[in-house]
Amino acid sequence: MTEPQDKKFQHRDIDWLNFNKRVLQEAADQSNPVYERLKFLAIFSSNLDEYYRVRVSQLRQIKKIKKSLRKKLALRPTKKIKQIVKDVAQQQIQFGEIFRDQILPELANHHIHLIQYKDFNEDQLKEASVYYTEKLKPQLEPQLVNLEEKNQFFLENNTIYFFVSFKNSNNAGLVNIPVEKLGRFITLNKEKEEHYITFLDDLIRAEMHQVFPNQTIEGIFEIKMSRDAELYIDDQYNGVLAEKIYDSLAQRTDGQPTRLLYDAEMPKELRKLLRKHLGLGKIDMMPGGKYHNFSDFFAFPDPTNNPELKHQPLAPIPHKAFEANKDYFEVIKAKDQLLHFPYMSFNYIENFIEQAAVDNDVISIKISLYRVADKSALTSSLLKALEKGKEVTVFIEAKARFDEENNISWGRKFEEKGAHVIYSYPKIKVHSKIFLIDRIESGESVKYAYIGTGNFNAETSKIYCDHALFTAHKKITKELDRVFKVLEGELIIPRAKNLLVSPFDTRREFTSMILKEIDEAEAGRKAKITAKINSLEDEEIIDLLYRANNSGVNIRMLVRGFTSLIAGVDGLSENIYITSIIDRFLEHGRIYMFHNAGDERIFIGSADWMNRNLDRRIEVLAPIFDEDLKEELKDILQIQLNDNVKARIQDYTQKNEYVKHSSTKTIRSQYEIYNYLQKKHS
């Protein structure tokens, strides 16, 4: 606990750095296999790149607002950016220490050596020279740059380059590192039992004298520019929003700079010339290591195929009901069903859509797609349904960040095959993960609904922890049908009494449920709120939670990412306890549970407690009516609340301390949940 304080809200972008710090903790955790630790370094790097492209770029946009207005609104973007730069610099130092002092030696202990060009032996130098001549040289685009003139070159977003200084010259060299064409890592010839891998970067370094043959090379420094990733689309383009987004995707490469990452060994005078040449401010310059784009380590080769170096795969748990009866319509009509990813296979969703596509009694399929996979059995089944003459309605979210091009491309394919394709609306994203199947049974329409917490993507379902509800419950299917009618423009408001649908009633219903818990606590009765979410930002909800805290409501939360709520403060949040779980899978599911005077209410769905999810997105959260499924979700939630291996405490200290073992049993929740579901479905 700490003393009461005036500050009620932590800035989301500052607390997000605490989330990425937890990712870095996993990279440092020596109980994780070395390739998994390497993966967490890649996640850290990928997260940070997106953070700069999106969040930091937004802070920079705020700086364009008149200073007088920023002052009135208490907006202080420069101060935030300075704090971000400081915190990131500290994390980058830790990142480098983990990589150099822990990961590389452990790889070497397993006969895998990541070597630099200066360590090449004579045979490796010859091998590098041959590779350079035959494969690398044709892909290089070297430029000579006069440092006394501005804007002579352009750095593509998130692309790594070499910036080369020459002795006794006003010029510098710029050369691309063609990772997309050749990959980032080159496996060299094996020597006895030892395996050697090098960066593509080092093959260029080794042959830089050939790249700039008429210059005396003084220094070779890797650089990378991060640029604004937002697409600013004028709202006047209402009817052709998808086309405007498609045409605007080029902004991803020529957007405003948000960070220049450079090799910290670059001399100060050269940094100054480069900064001025690119028109950057000092705050835009971020020192880093010799190598950038560590997200490439997702594809780091394993020449040994040693199973000890990675997590052993967990076989998907067969779903008892769906395995016993392959007629999914019968199974779902008899009883609501839950799936849990990645513990169970995404095939059950694909199988159901496939069954619907070929079923003569199915007349229509409606689905909302937020992030569409490049190729999938699900999209193939939707195309098959069109071939069978069924009515298919596909809502495509054209503004799903970094997936716009693929989403719109799929939308065009569906349109060509005769689907009714609806693209997103200005200012509103459709983030819900839903589909609805209409089937004629005994002359009557029977609807089957799906509401999930994760995207319709078979690949990400293997690493994202999500939950999914199949139901034929009329209270849900009737209201989900109204949601689709809103998406189709037939209704303005879905009039839901059971579903929570943003931006229509989710905020109001959450407010009502929290206020009820406050009333119960003030009457001296048991009151409790439990929530598992990705992020917590909405200040109205946070204020209500603080009020509930002061009324004596017990509030227990799992927040994977950032939280603007400050927990553990006397007089403000001493009854609020928050933990965050970072483990081999990405926690992504949202579960809300309210004690409700003993008649517990549980919801799952796509919405976090963020103002965008409550007010600016189409979101759907489903109540769990089936008592068996209620208990199942409660059991899973309780396992996660009890995690004392991978759970960290999120409170005012911002130390990310691990939950201490309070019992003799260690509980690593992701493995405990797997074991729990195995028993339940055996």
Task: Describe the crossing of helices 377-387 and 347-358 by its angle, rounded to 10 degrees.
Answer: 10
Contacts with 370 (C-beta within 8 Å, 6 or more apart), sequence order: 397, 400, 430, 431, 432, 433, 455, 456
Which helix (H) or strand (E) segment is 557 a member of? Answer: strand 554-559
Residue 60, annotated ligand binder?
no
Residue 401, annotated ligand binder?
yes
CA-CA distance, 37 to 584, in Å (whole number)?
10
CA-CA distance, 488 to 366, in Å (whole number)?
10
Contacts with 650 (C-beta within 8 Å, 6 or more apart), sequence order: 18, 559, 563, 567, 578, 579, 580, 656
What single letter denotes the amino acid at residue 476?
I
The CA–CA distances, whole Å, from 301 to 194, 309, 359, 390, 572 equal 14, 12, 44, 45, 50
Contacts with 170 (C-beta within 8 Å, 6 or more apart), sequence order: 146, 147, 148
Alpha helix (H) residue ranges in 527-668: 539-551, 611-615, 627-641
Residue 560, annotated ligand binder?
yes
CA-CA distance, 160 to 225, in Å (whole number)?
8
Residue 525, annotated ligand binder?
no
CA 164 to chain centre: 35
Residue 662 backbone phi and psi in degrees, to 5: -95, 0
Catalytic residue among 431, 467, 473, 595: 431
Residue 588, annotated ligand binder?
yes
Q: How many CA atoms lie within 13 A of 49 on its CB side?
A: 20
Confirm if 501 and 620 have CB atoms less than 8 A apart: yes
Residue 410 backbone phi and psi in degrees, to 5: -65, -35
- Burial of residue 672 (number of CB atoms within 10 Å: 0-12, 13-18, 19+): buried
Annotation says 209 is catalytic: no
**CB neighbours (10 Å) of residue 310?**
17
CA-CA distance, 285 to 260, in Å (whole number)?
5
CA-CA distance, 353 to 432, in Å (whole number)?
18
The CA–CA distances, whole Å, from 461 to 146, 557, 592, 670 equal 50, 23, 21, 14
Question: How many Å is the Cα radius of gyration of the chain?
Answer: 27
The CA–CA distances, whole Å, from 538 to 249, 501, 544, 545, 570 equal 30, 17, 10, 11, 21
- Burial of residue 601 (number of CB atoms within 10 Å: 0-12, 13-18, 19+): middle
Contacts with 454 (C-beta within 8 Å, 6 or more apart), sequence order: 341, 433, 460, 461, 464, 466, 467, 468, 588, 589
581 closest CA partner among 672, 487, 480: 672
Confirm if 566 and 572 have CB atoms less than 8 A apart: yes
259 closest CA partner among 60, 76, 65, 403: 60
436 closest CA partner among 500, 382, 368, 495: 368
Residues contributing to the annotated binding site: 47, 371, 401, 464, 560, 588
Residues contributing to the annotated binding site for Mg(2+): 371, 401
Catalytic residue positions, numbered: 431
Residues contributing to the annotated binding site for ATP: 47, 464, 560, 588
